[in-house]
Amino acid sequence: MNKITFVDTTLRDAHQSLWNGQMTTAMMLPIAPIIDQVGFEALDFMALISMDWCIRNQKENPWDRLKLMSKAMPNTPLIVGGVLRNFGNVPDSVTEFWAKTVAKAGAGLIRINDPCHDMAEIKKAIKWSKSAGLTTMVALIYSYSPVHTDEYYAEKAKQMALAGAERIFIKDVDGLLTPERTRTLVPAILKKINGIPLEIHGHCTTGLAPICYLEAVKLGVTTVHTAVSPLANGPSQPSIENILKNLPHLKFSADIDEDALKAMTQHFQYIAQREGFPMGAPVEYDLFQYEHQVPGGMMSNYKAELARRGLSGRLNALLGEIAQIRKELGFPIMVTPLSQYIGAQAILNQTGGERYKVVTDEVIKYVLGHFGELAAPVEKSVLDKILKMPRTNELENWEPPEKSIESLRREFGEDLSDEDFLLRVLSSNQASLDDVLAAGPKKYDYPRGDKPILSLIEELSKRKDGASVQIQKGDFFLELR
């Protein structure tokens, strides 16, 4: 039987999609040695932007997370990365320095996602990453539109291969891929990448991703990205349990330790129950998804923002507005950060009394081509309106601000370690970072979910309000004082 390998997304994309990124280092660390035994080819672990998330929302040092987990899982390479181009917030010098520093801290692979498939930016990121000693994984970000054809993706894949990508993966962030499209897309890409391994990373937003995975495997995809079942399905990835069950029927196999996998699954089931986090579940098919294409991870945040503004009752109208904006702007791919830009513009269009009366700087920059080549031209009526705005003239020659590492060190502190320096540059909340650094190393204690009785005993033994712990089952009796 031909072998299929698995990239696990549980500790990054899956909990970001299903649990709003609330998994902490303490929840990961106790089960890490078991995860290391499962047999994953690699583990999707950390994005560039998630370092700031760790600081702001979890009061944790992301470098501790990376180093502790890489030490606990020496046999499973960790994947970092994400959007590595400068949209005006992170200079190229910082991203390049970050790549070198995460490699030293224990990362093994790097994901390179460019929302516009801008080859100049992708080539730059490949060069940085290889120089840092990281294996490069470049994303073909899938979208459904008249211009995102098989030929479009085949040509982009060819360019990625020529640029030196070591791995290429289809990234269906919006859950739009269908089995029928998979049957034409995968062969078109494979013909152009000169034997480079092709992988698939999908989201179950429409419920079709598991079927697409199986179709992709039949056609020559060798690696699939999955999560354990408590964090699979819905806006997340397919479950590894489901794919493993179906592979033998297609005459494929995988070298997965199913006992270790079971223990890993039990641990995250326990966390979901203990913390009140949702358990992944299959979703019903939603045809509207193909119009607005809002990613599952963004949808929860968007609903929260609408609630904050008192606009919850206008969700469907806003999703329809997003679909219209996509068409007018030449079908930008709904992926970070473009999806957020379009979502913000939709609110302005719906609440401003006139569509495009106010246009965000980010949308103007996109229309002017500052974020890369547009997949299709902007509709003339919208383009004319935007080009007539005074702000458009001001941004016509905009370039993302660049600063050298040396100048940034003078700004943030020349005595900082490389890791603390990067946290200073990347953090959006310096006060939160002050607290994290002042607190020093944390204790990452959390019960093992696959050993519930042992975890219960450990927790009870730490309590100060009891003299002893008694355990009895049949003739067995144990008392701990």
- CATH number, domain containing residue 149: 3.20.20.70
Q: Domain ends where: 343, 363, 396?
A: 396
Q: pLDDT digits over 228-256, tens only? A: 999 999 999 999 999 999 999 999 999 99
Indicate whether 166 belongs to any domain. Answer: yes
Q: pLDDT digits over 18-63, tens only? A: 998 899 999 999 999 999 999 999 999 998 888 888 999 999 999 9
Tokens matching residue 146: 């008249």
Contacts of 394 (CB under 8 A, 6+ apart): none
The answer to whether residue 469 scores a pLDDT higher than 80 is no
**Same domain, yes or no: 38 and 102:** yes
**Same domain, yes or no: 193 and 46:** yes
* Residue 458: per-residue pLDDT: 62
* Residue 453: per-residue pLDDT: 59
Closest CA to 173 of 349, 392, 304, 332: 332
- What span, in angstroms and rounded, lies between the C-alpha atoms of 16 and 14? 5
The mean pLDDT value for 245-273 works out to: 97
Q: In which band, very low, low, confident or very high, does the pLDDT at 135 lie, cut at 50, 70 and 90?
A: very high
Indicate whether 62 belongs to any domain. Answer: yes
- What span, in angstroms and rounded, lies between the C-alpha atoms of 18 and 242? 18
The mean pLDDT value for 135-152 works out to: 97
Helix/strand number for the chain, H first, E second = 23, 12
Identify each DSSP E strand in 281-430 by its residue range: none
**Same domain, yes or no: 301 and 152:** no
Backbone angles phi, psi at 3, to 5 degrees: -95, 140
* Residue 468: per-residue pLDDT: 67
**Same domain, yes or no: 66 and 166:** yes
- What span, in angstroms and rounded, lies between the C-alpha atoms of 32 and 276? 22
Indicate whether 480 belongs to any domain. Answer: no
Tokens matching residue 93: 């010098």
Q: H or E stretch including 202? A: strand 198-202
How large a percentage of the chain has pLDDT more than 70? 94
Q: pLDDT digits over 429-463, tens only? A: 999 999 999 998 888 889 998 776 566 556 655 66
**Same domain, yes or no: 238 and 333:** no
Strands 42-47 and 5-8: parallel
Range of weakest confidence among 114-123, 224-233, 285-294, 445-454: 445-454
Indicate whether 413 belongs to any domain. Answer: no
- What span, in angstroms and rounded, lies between the C-alpha atoms of 395 and 308? 30
- Round the average pLDDT of the chain to a whole number and report it: 93
Q: pLDDT digits over 334-383, tens only? A: 998 999 999 999 999 999 999 999 999 999 999 999 998 899 999 999 99
Contacts of 253 (CB under 8 A, 6+ apart): 1, 2, 3, 4, 247
Angle 14-17-23 from CA coordinates, rounded to 5°: 65
Q: In which band, very low, low, confident or very high, does the pLDDT at 401 lie, cut at 50, 70 and 90?
A: confident
* Residue 460: per-residue pLDDT: 56
**Same domain, yes or no: 138 and 25:** yes
Q: Domain ends where: 396, 417, 452?
A: 396
* Residue 300: per-residue pLDDT: 78
**Same domain, yes or no: 166 and 309:** no
Indicate whether 257 belongs to any domain. Answer: yes
**Same domain, yes or no: 222 and 320:** no
Q: Domain ends where: 374, 396, 418?
A: 396
- CATH number, domain containing residue 308: 1.10.472.90
**Same domain, yes or no: 91 and 215:** yes
Give the total number of structural domains in the chain.
Answer: 2
**Same domain, yes or no: 107 and 183:** yes
**Same domain, yes or no: 266 and 302:** no
Indicate whether 344 belongs to any domain. Answer: yes
Indicate whether 282 belongs to any domain. Answer: no
The mean pLDDT value for 72-89 works out to: 89
* Residue 266: per-residue pLDDT: 97
**Same domain, yes or no: 267 and 373:** no
Indicate whether 450 belongs to any domain. Answer: no
Give residue 311's domain range.
288-396
